[in-house]
Amino acid sequence: MKYIYAAVLALNLMAVGSSATTLSEEEREEAKTKLVAEIDKQAKLAQVMNDMIFSFGELGFQEVETSAYLTAMLAEEGFDIEKGIAGIPTAWYATWGSGKPVIALGTDLDGIPKASQKPGVAYHDPIVEGAPGHGEGHNSGQVVNIIAALAMKEYMTKNDIEGTIVLWPGIAEEQLATKAYYVREGYFDNVDAVLYSHVGNGFGTFYGNPSMSGMVSVKYNFYGESAHSAGSPWRGRSALDAVELMSVGMNYRREHLRLAQRTHSVIVDGGDQPNVVPQKASSWYFFRETDYPHIKALWEVGDKMAEGAAMMSNTTWDSVVMGTAWPGHFNKPLALAALENIKKVGMPEWSDDDIKLAKALQKEIGAEVIGLAEEIMPMREPPPQDKLTGGGSDDVGDIAWTVPTIFMLYPANIPNLPGHNWANAVSMATPIAHKGIIAGAKAHAMNMVDLFTNPELLPEMQDYFDNVQTKDIKYESLLREGDTPQIHLNEGIMKQYREKMKAFYYNPDKYDTYLEQLNIDYPMVRDSK
């Protein structure tokens, strides 16, 4: 299905892979200087946006408050908003401008279960006990992109620069559950480049694939027959037995799988109560590998284990794809250009209080005490494909195999933290995050100047994409025909906690910062309790 935006955009298409407006190198540098100054003026807006999203703390597919807040702001700024894209209620696609090139900025929105944490406090102190929170730092990424986009939009308007800016959210990234659907529905068919932002503890970018695995997320449902667990257990067929047998089988098989594989699971339905033989039970697996054929092969292993478990327990089974992600591969010419802009921005100036918080938190969790990053991340040559050993995943990989893309890390978090943990939320509504956001916004604004006004960059990017990245490897979605976004995920958790969390939503009309609203004397460390 082609969307209205794509049809309208097609009427304005210029030569693919070229900028409509050309500036000299000197003029581009002048533009970058002006944009940096403008972004510095938006530091208060960035802080308010960041702290507001942090206070929402919403999980994947349930980013209702976050999406409403951001789309309302973008609509006020003149962006056209398409809501509910790809059948996902909290997803949206915001566009401004006209014609080519089309530059899309994306990043994620969702939080982490049980990661509620007071910002600026260097020990575990939840805002709402047991509630979700931004224990990854996804509250900050859209702020980076929007601040950069607004500055570039104003510059383009004043200087008659042609082109289209797109903003989009990674909904349910922690479930790796949506970006493949965006690709399938054609939202990147007419995009020339993607600038992807992700919270980090350093500042930099990379090209190729440094360590990212692709994956498929699969829920296995087993079906048996209930019976009284004590009175007539022989009349039952336990679906939970199948779940447990599959787990045992996968764990034994793990010894004989490639080092690059990563397989992990949780039981999402283990039955109702012990005295009833479970007639239904489910387990949820992530199968990670470093390329499409090995992901498919590992998935087939999982299916065989499910079939064997069902045979042993006299049950039946089916599966649901919960999400997919291709391994990352990022554009070299664009990454090299972005790194030069990152160097021009430089690292934020950390205060003594910022460093004090970082060191106290590192000590609290038993990590090496090093404080905050001081230097730009160096660009490293990616390892050969056959040397990749696997790692984390991000479904931006599906987009990166569709259109030239970079992955920029901006310095809003603290080094040496465990990830997906309350500790990763500590900095995310503090001056550390606020400074990191501004640094990232400046870099992306500079990147947009290059993309919109340097006629050499887009063809170089496309050449790398066509003749290096996709020369021998072609994108093929891991989604099966009939797979749909699992928009019900996290409904129960948010229903349980949302009202409690609402009491702590940030009120910028009353409080200067979220730290002030929570009565936090920044930084709060063990010896100051």
| Average pLDDT, integer, range 445-453 | 98
CA angle 409, 411, 415 (to 5 degrees): 100
Q: Which whole number is the average pLDDT over 330-346?
A: 98
Residues 202, 255, single domain; the answer is: no
Same domain, 174 and 288: no
Q: Which of 8-22, 178-192, 479-493 has the lowest mean pLDDT?
A: 8-22
Counting the structural domains of the chain, the total is 2
> For residue 488, is it within any domain?
no
User: Is 496 within a domain?
Assistant: no
145 pLDDT exceeds 90? yes
Q: Tell me, what's the pLDDT at 12? A: 39
Final residue of a structural domain among 298, 325, 352: 325
Give the mean pLDDT of 418-432.
97
Is residue 524 in a domain? Answer: no
Segment 96-115 shows an average pLDDT of 97
Looking at 8-22, 86-100, 302-316, which range is the least confident one?
Answer: 8-22
Residue 489 lies inside a defined structural domain of this protein: no
Residue 260 and residue 405 share a domain: no
Q: What is the DSSP letter of 85?
A: G
* pLDDT single digits (tens) 209-241: 988 999 999 999 999 999 999 999 999 999 999
Q: Is the pLDDT of residue 13 over 80?
A: no
Q: Which of 475, 492, 510 is the last residue of a domain?
A: 475
Residue 122 has pLDDT above 50, yes or no: yes
Q: CA-to-CA distance for 137 and 377, rounded, in angstroms?
A: 19
Domain's final residue, options 305, 325, 345: 325
- What single DSSP character describes residue 471? S
Where does the pLDDT of residue 17 fall: very low under 50, low under 70, confident under 90, or very high at 90 and above? Answer: low
Same domain, 198 and 252: no
**Residue 527: inside a domain, yes or no?**
no
Q: Are residues 55 and 202 in the same domain?
A: yes
Residues 369 and 302 grouped into a single domain: no
Same domain, 284 and 378: no
Distance in angstroms (rounded) separating the CA atoms of residues 512 and 497: 26
Q: Give a yes or no: residue 526 inside a domain.
A: no
Q: pLDDT tens digit string along 40-89?
A: 999 999 999 999 999 999 999 999 999 999 999 999 999 999 999 999 99
Residue whose token pair is 């066509």: 466
Q: What angle do CA 317, 272, 280 make, to 5 degrees?
A: 10
Q: Where are the alpha helices (DSSP H) in 172-223?
A: 179-184
CA distances from 123 to 291, 393, 524, 525 (A): 39, 28, 8, 7
Does 58 share its domain with 46?
A: yes
CATH of the domain at 383: 3.40.630.10
Per-chain mean pLDDT for the chain: 95
> What DSSP string describes 336-388?
HHHHHHHHHH------HHHHHHHHHHHHHTT-----S--SPPPP-PPPPGGG-
265 and 352 co-located in one domain: no
CATH number, domain containing residue 241: 3.30.70.360
Cβ contact 238:245 at 8 Å: no
**pLDDT beyond 70 at 342:** yes
Same domain, 39 and 174: yes
pLDDT reading at 495 higher than 70: yes
User: Which strands, in side-by-side order, build the sheet including 316-325?
Assistant: 262-269, 280-289, 214-223, 316-325
Write down the pTM of the prediction.
Answer: 0.94
Domain span at 255: 214-325
- 158 and 77 within one domain: yes
73 lies in a domain?
Answer: yes
Return the pLDDT at 210.
83
Are residues 341 and 292 part of one domain? no
> Is position 48 within any domain?
yes
pLDDT surpasses 80 at 6: no
The pLDDT of residue 110: 98
Q: What is the pLDDT of residue 9?
A: 41
